[in-house]
Chain A
Amino acid sequence: MSTEPFAPPAESQMIGVDVGGTFTDIVKIEDGKILVSKVPTDASSSDTSVLQGVAEVGADDAGVFNLASTAGLNAVITRDTPKVAFLTTTGHRDMLDRGRLGRPWSALTDPHWRREFGDTGRPLVERYLRRGINERITGAGQVLLPLDESQARSELDVLRRCGVEAVAICLLNSYVDPTHEQRLQELVAEVLGDIPCSISSEVSPLTKEYQRAMTTLVDVVMKAKYSDYTDRLSTGLEKLGFDGVFNYSDCAARLLPADYAMERPYRLVVGGPAAGTAASAHFGAQIGDSQLLCADVGGTSCDISLVRDGEPWLNSTFELEHDLHVNALSTDVVTLGAGGGSIVWVNPTGEIRVGPESAGAHPGPACYGQQGDRPTITDAAVLIGILDPDSFLGGKFPLRADLAEKAFDDLQSPLPLSQRIDYAWRMGINNVAEGMVNICVRHGLDIREFSLMAFGAAGGMMLPSLLQVLPIRRVIVPPHPGLFSALGLLSTDQVYSDHRTSYRLLDDQAAEPLDLLFSSMEDGLRAQLGRGAEGATVHRSFDGRLFGQSFETPFVPVPNAPIDADALAKMIEDFHRVYGERNGNTFPYIPVQGVTYRVEMHVPTDKVTHPPLPTSDLDPTPDAATNLRHLDTEPGPAAVYYRTSLHAGQRIVGPAIVREELSTTFAPTGTEVKVGEYGELIISTSGDQS
C-alpha cells in the first residue's frame, strides 16, 4: 500500500468512509456506479467498523481510500486521552485553565457556570502535569532568559515518575524563535524516551499562546490516538487486498496522505462535517450552482455551511467546545440544535421550543419505541404524515405513531395537540431559517443569491419548507442525501500546506523577507511532495489587519510570483477589497499589517462524478398517497413518489412526498419539484423555477 502523493489513474475505483458517532458510512465508486454501505460505529474501536464496512463493498480493486473520522474529536470531548503533560514557560501553566476568559453568552449572568476544560471541570491536563520551564524569549525574539536545562531535566524527571504517555510543549513567543522548544523536545526524548511529543513552533507557529498551546495539545493527543489506529487500518486494508493510496480528510475536507497527515494530526480532529460542504461544492459545480448554503440535517443537529463562488467558506480556527480552540484551517460549520431527534419542549412562558437537546440514537424519538418519552421533530413528522411508520429505513425499523402522539400529549401546554405539533414542526424549521439568516448577516451575504443544498437523513424532510419563510433561490436535494458527506470525501484534492506568523507592515521593506518566507515554505512543500509537485498548483494567501486592529481578515490572496513592490501593492489592494466585502466599509488610508502567511499545494485527485438519469417528458404518476394532518398550511392529501421511479426533467407539484430508502423529501404546498439531470430534486416556490 502506498501513501505517495499521486493522483490515482482516472479509471480507478475509489472508497470514501465517513465515521460518525452512530454510523459509519462507506461509499465506493465502481465502474461509474455508487455503491453504499452503512454499519454501526463501534465507539471503542472504530477501525473495526471501518474495515467491516469496507469488506462489504470490497477494497482489492480500489485505487484510493479516503477517511474522515470523528475518533479524535470524540477522544478530546470525552477526555478519553492518554496521560499527557504540558510544558510551558515558568509562570504560564494556567493558560490551559483560563483559555480566553470569556464565558458563553448563555452564561452571562450565571454564577454556576464553569469552564468545561478548566481545573474545576474536566481538564485535558491536570495542573500537576503542567510544568513550568525556566526560559524566556521576548516578543521581539530576544533571549531574555536562556533555557535552564538542569531545571528542565528535573521537571521531566517528575513527569517520568508520573508515567506520562505524551508531552505537548508551548513556550511563550516560540512562534518568533523555536530554538528553546526544539531543545526541550530533545530533552523529552532523552528523559522520557520515545513517546509522542509535539512542539507548538512546528504544529502551529502562530501568535496567541493559548490557542497555539491547545492546538499542540490536541496534536499530541491525536498522535497518541491515531498512530496505532492508522497502523491497524493500514494492516486491515492490506488484508482486504487494498494497495492504493490511503488519505485522511482534514477539517476542511482536503485530503492528506496518511503518513503526511500523521506529522501534524491535529488537522484531522474534525473530519466529517467539512466533507458535506465539499460534496456540495463539487455537486454544485456539476449542476452549475456556485452559491450554496449547505445543510446537513442528521439525528441530533443541523450543520450549516457556505459555498461561495464554488469554494467552501473557511475559518482559521475551530472550536471543539466553548473556547477550546484549535488553529486548524477548517470549513466554517455552524451547528444548530435542529435535527430529527431534537427534543420539543415548553419554556416557562409557554413557548414551544425545539432543541438543542436531542434524543440521540438512544432512546431516540418517542416513535422509535425505545423508552423515549419526549417528543421530537421526527415524532412530529410521523404524526403529520411525512414519514411513513411502516417504510422507515426501508421497512427495517417500523415507527410507533401512538407513542409519538402520547409524547406530544404529555407536554405541559394549554395548546391543543394539533397546534403543538404544528408549532413544533414550524419552530424546528424556523430554527434552521434563523440560523441561516444569522450566518448570512455575519458574513455580509445576501441570502437571495443562494441555493440550499439539503442533505443528511432529515434534510429533504425538513428543509424544502424553508421556502415558505426564506427568500432563498431554491432547495436542492442531491442524490444519496443520506450518504452525501461520505461522497464529499471523493470530491476534493490532496493538499499540502504550511503557514507562518510574522507581524510586518506591508511597506517597501517587507518585499524581500516575505519573498524569502514564501519561497522557503514552498521549497519545503516541494521537498515533501517529490515528483508529485510537478502537477501541483500553488495557492498563497495571508491573514492581515489594518494597522492597530487586533483581529485579522483572513485568506487575502497573494500573487503567485516573486514578492516585489508590485506584488505588495496587489496584496494591499486585495486586502482592502476583501475587507470591504466582509465588513461593508474600507480604510484605504490605514497601513496594512501582514500577520500569517499560508501556502497550499493542491495535487489534483480523481473525483466522483454523478451519472445522469434517464429523462422523461411525462409527469410522474404517484406511487401512493398520504393524508397530511396537524399542519395549518397543509390540510389534506399529498401524493407520494418513490425516488427510484423518477426521471430527469419530471415535475411534481407540492404538497408531495418523495421516499427513498434512507431519506424522505417533503415538498409543501406552494412549491414545485423538478427532477434534475443527475436525479437531484430541485424544489422551488411554484412559478419560480430558477
Chain B
Amino acid sequence: MTLSLYPPETSEIPVALLKDLSDQQFGDLYSCDRFTASVLANRFRYIVDNMCGQLISQAFSPILRDYTDLSAALTGPPSIRHAMPAVAQSLPLFFGSIPEGARGALEEYGIDQLVDGDVIIVNDPYRAGTHVNDVCFIRPAFVDGEFIGALTIRAHMLDWGGKVMGGFTLDKGSLYEDGLVVAPELIYHAGEPVRPMFKMIRDNTRFAPMVLPDIETINACLKAADDQLSETYVRYGQDAFVGAMRYACDASAETMQQAIAELPDGDYRGEAKLDSNGLGAAETALHAKVLIRKRGPNIEFDFSGSSAATPSSLNCMWAEAKSAVVIATKWLVDPKTPYTSGASRSIDVLVPPDTFMNPSPPLCSNLYWVPMHCMITAIMRALNPVLGEDAVALDSGDSILHVGEGLTEGGEPWFVPAGGVLHSLPWGATQSGDADSGQLSLYLNLVWSGDEPSEADQPYVVLNRDYRADSGGPGQHRGGAGSVVDTLWLEAGNHRAFAFMSDRSDGGGVSGGSPGAPAGAWLLPPASTAEVADGVFLPNTLPSSAYAEAVPMYGTFDPETNELDAVNGTYHLALHPVAGERGTILRSYCGGGGGWGDPFRRPVDAVLADVRNEYVSLEGAALDYGVVIEGDPHHDPEGLRVDPEATARLRDR
C-alpha cells in the first residue's frame, strides 16, 4: 500500500517559481502582496515560538521545564486542509505528527461543535502519533464565529497512567499498558475547565500536583497566542491571513522541491538496525530498510522489507515515519529554511502495515523515537553516497534513556525521570569541519541547566562527564567524541538504562571517514567504587576487574570481562530494572560521531592539537591518523612533538 500522507494543501499550484511571479500573479494567488505575505509568515512563526517559550519557562514537571519535551504549531482552516504554516523551532521530533494530530482531532470532533475558548485534547498514538504521554492540546481560534485556524501545544505529561511510573519501559505489549488513551475530547469549554476531564486525569496520573498546573499553564499559553492570532486576522483580513498561510507553506514546498531536484534521479537503498526489540538479545534485532525512488522534484521513501511490528515498546506510528522522513530530508538537503507542512508536499512515504513503523492496535509505541531514529539512519545511509562532498556522517546513535526510582533511607519515594541523567550526544562530521561532541540528537533541541539544579533535589552526584579519547570517528574532519557519564547514587533504588543503536561499526563515517566508538552502560556495585570514598575518581578506563564485577546494562560485551567488544562480543540488554545499593555508580558511555573524509588527510597540526587536547591518544594518532607524536599529553601538553619521518612512513603506506 502506498499511503500518500501529503495531499495537496493548495488547489492552485504556482505557475512559476515564487520569485518570478509578477505582482499581479502573486496577488491573484495569495490575495495579498509579497510584502504582507512575508510579514505574516514571520509573525505566524514567532507567535508559535513565543507560545512554546512561555510554556518552557512556566512549566512545573521536569520533563517540560528541563527537557522541553514539547512543541507548538499553528494550522490553518479546512479550506487549506489545515496546512501548518508555522511550527515551533524547539523539537523536530513532532514535525510530522503535530499537524496530523490537530487536523484529525478537529475533523473527528467537528469544528461546528466548537466555540471560542474551547480546547480539545487527544493522545491516541494511532490518531496523533508518538505515545500516550504526549498530549495534544488544540485550541480552535475564532473571529466573529469564523474558524480561522488552530493553535496546538503537544507536551509530554510527566505521568499518564500505565504500568510504570513515568511511562518509559521496554516491555509494554499493548497500548492498554501504556496509559490513559483519550480520543479527541474537550478539556476546556468556552474558557472554563471541563471538570470531569480534569478529574479523570487527576485520578490516572501519579503526579497530579505537577501535571494539572502544567495543563493550566498550557491553556494560558494557548489563550495568549490565540489573542495575537485573532488580532492579526482582524488587522489583515481573512484573504491576506489565509493567503499568507498558503504562501508560507508554498515557499517551503518550493525550496524543498528544488533541493530534491538537485539530487540525481535514481533508486537508493539504505538499512539500519536496532540492537534488539527490547525483549531479548541480538536475535530479536529490528531492521529498517528503505528504498528511495527519486524522480525530478519528487521523492518516495519505501520501507517495505522492514521488520515486523514487535510486542514491545519499540514501535512507532505512521506519523513518526513521516517525521523521520522529513527530518532526515531537511537535515541532508534543505537544512536552512524553517519547516512547514509544505516541505513534505513532494515527498511520499510507504510504510507497510504491521511493521515496527506502522503497527496495528493494540501494539504500543512507548519508545517511538528509537524506531524513528533508526529510520533516519537508514535514510542517511541511502542518500549519503549520492551526496558526495555534502554527505553527513552519522551521529553516535540513539539517546541513552535512564530511569531510576526507589525509596530513600527515610522511606520517601524518589524518582529520576527519563532525561534526568542526560548525555550530550556527538554529531557526525561534515565537509564544514569537525563535529561537536556536546550536541543533542538531531530531533531534539533543549536548554540544559547543568548538573547542579538536579543535584539540589535528586539523590545522585555526577562524578564524570568527560569526553573519551579516541571515541570520535576518525576522519579528515573528526566526528564528535563520546562522553562517559558516571553517576553516584546516594540512595538505593532500581535502574533501567537502554539504548538500541549502541554500535555504528556497520557504517557511521562518510567519504572515507570511520565510525565512532560504541556505546554501553554498567552498574558498578559499591564494592568496586570504594576508591571513590578514598578520594580517587574513576578514570575513564577502568581495570578489567571493575567491569567484571559490574552489571552490564546494554552494549556489546566480552562475556568474560564485561568490557565493550563490538567485534567479537555479544549484545546484552538488561531487560528488567536492576537494583543498586546506596553508593552504586551507573557508568554509561555514549558512542562517538562518524568522521568525514580520509583520516590520513587530516592536517598533522590538527592531529597534534587533538592529542594535546586528549581527543585522540598517542596510540590513536598513529593508528587512525598515521601521525607519530612523542611526549606526555597530560603532564606536558605543550611539549608534544611530531616525528615527521615516522609520520611520513605511516602515511605513505
Contact = CB atoms under 8 A, between A and B. Distances in A.
Interface of A: 90-95, 97-103, 105-106, 108-112, 114-115, 118-120, 126-128, 132, 134, 136, 138-139, 144-146, 148, 154, 158, 161-162, 172-173, 175, 207-211, 346-353, 413-415, 419, 423, 426-427, 430, 434, 437-438, 441-442, 444, 503, 546, 548-551, 583-585, 587, 590
Contact of B210 (A414, A442, A548, A584): A548
A145 B463 CA distance: 11
Contact of A434 (B23, B42, B339, B536): B42
B228 to A, nearest CB: 6
Contacts of B53: 442
Contact of A102 (B448, B457, B465, B635): B448
B410 interface: no
B122 to A, nearest CB: 23
A211 B442 CA distance: 24
Nearest to A437: B43
Given A128-B614, A144-B461, A101 B456 contact: no
Nearest to A93: B466
A144 B436 CA distance: 32
Contacts of B424: 98, 101
Nearest to B58: A583
Interface in B424-448: 424, 427-428, 430, 432-440, 442, 445-448
B455 A138 contact: yes
A93 B42 CA distance: 39
B437 A97 contact: yes
B542 to A, nearest CB: 14
Contacts of A444: 224
A585 B220 contact: yes
A437 B442 CA distance: 31
Contacts of A210: 450
Nearest to A552: B57
B497 interface: no
B649 to A, nearest CB: 27
Q: For chain A, what secondary structure do more than half of its interface residues adopt (helix, strand, loop), or is it mixed? A: loop
Interface string B449-492: 11111011100011111110000000000000001001010100
Contact of B535 (A99, A118, A145, A173): A145
A134 B456 contact: no
A349 B439 contact: no
Contacts of B435: 114, 120
A442 B635 CA distance: 50
A550 B61 CA distance: 9
10 contacts: A109-B330, A110-B335, A120-B433, A158-B637, A161-B639, A162-B638, A548-B60, A583-B58, A583-B217, A587-B213
Given A101-B446, A136-B463, A350-B18, A110 B217 contact: no
Nearest to A120: B434
A108 B461 CA distance: 31
Given A144-B461, A349-B18, A550-B66, A95 B436 contact: no
B537 A91 contact: yes
B21 interface: yes
Contact of A441 (B35, B228, B446, B635): B228
B254 interface: yes
A345 to B, nearest CB: 12
Contact of B452 (A108, A139, A144, A590): A139
A95 B432 contact: no
Contacts of A413: 19
Contact of B50 (A146, A148, A441, A549): A441
A172 B452 contact: yes
Nearest to A503: B456
A444 to B, nearest CB: 8
A170 to B, nearest CB: 11
B336 interface: yes
Contacts of A108: 89, 92, 338-339, 445
Task: Give the residue among A98, A426, A444 with the most B Cβ atoms within 10 A.
Answer: A98
Contacts of B637: 128, 158, 162
B38 to A, nearest CB: 5
A621 B56 CA distance: 56
B34 A423 contact: yes
B19 A348 contact: yes
Contacts of A211: 450
Nearest to A414: B20
Contact of B465 (A92, A105, A154, A161): A92
Contacts of B334: 109
A101 B448 contact: yes
Given A91-B465, A102-B447, A144-B461, A119 B613 contact: yes
B50 to A, nearest CB: 6
A681 to B, nearest CB: 27
B92 A109 contact: yes
A173 B614 contact: no
B438 A118 contact: yes
What are the nearest 10 A-B pairs in CB distance?
A350-B19, A98-B438, A105-B89, A91-B464, A139-B455, A550-B65, A127-B613, A349-B18, A109-B330, A128-B637
Contacts of A434: 39, 42-43, 46
A207 B223 contact: no
B178 to A, nearest CB: 25
B251 interface: yes
Contacts of A349: 17-19, 251, 254-255
A346 B639 CA distance: 52
A496 to B, nearest CB: 27
Given A108-B89, A209-B451, A350-B21, A138 B461 contact: yes
Given A128-B612, A148-B535, 5 more contacts: A90-B537, A101-B439, A112-B430, A349-B251, A550-B453
Contacts of A138: 455, 461, 490
B192 interface: no
Contact of A172 (B65, B442, B451, B537): B451
Interface string B87-104: 001101000000000000
A103 B428 contact: no
Nearest to A419: B23
Contact of A100 (B339, B432, B447, B488): B447
Contacts of A100: 447-450
Given A148-B535, A414-B22, A549-B58, A95 B89 contact: no
A413 B254 CA distance: 17
B560 interface: no
A209 B17 CA distance: 50
Interface in B58-104: 58-62, 65-66, 89-90, 92
B459 to A, nearest CB: 10
A626 to B, nearest CB: 25
B536 A134 contact: yes
B19 A346 contact: yes
Contacts of B483: 94
B175 interface: no
Given A348-B19, A351-B34, A584-B224, A158 B464 contact: no
B375 interface: no
A627 B216 CA distance: 57
B570 interface: no
Given A91-B463, A127-B613, A99 B438 contact: yes
Nearest to B336: A110
A584 B220 contact: yes
Nearest to B232: A437
A169 B438 CA distance: 21
Most chain-A Cβ atoms within 10 A of its Cβ — which of B56, B209, B392, B436?
B436
Q: Which of A109, A126, A426, A441 has the most CB of B within 10 A?
A: A109
B636 interface: yes
B650 to A, nearest CB: 24
A85 to B, nearest CB: 11
A92 B487 CA distance: 12
Given A91-B462, A438-B46, A441-B50, A119 B450 contact: no
B245 to A, nearest CB: 15
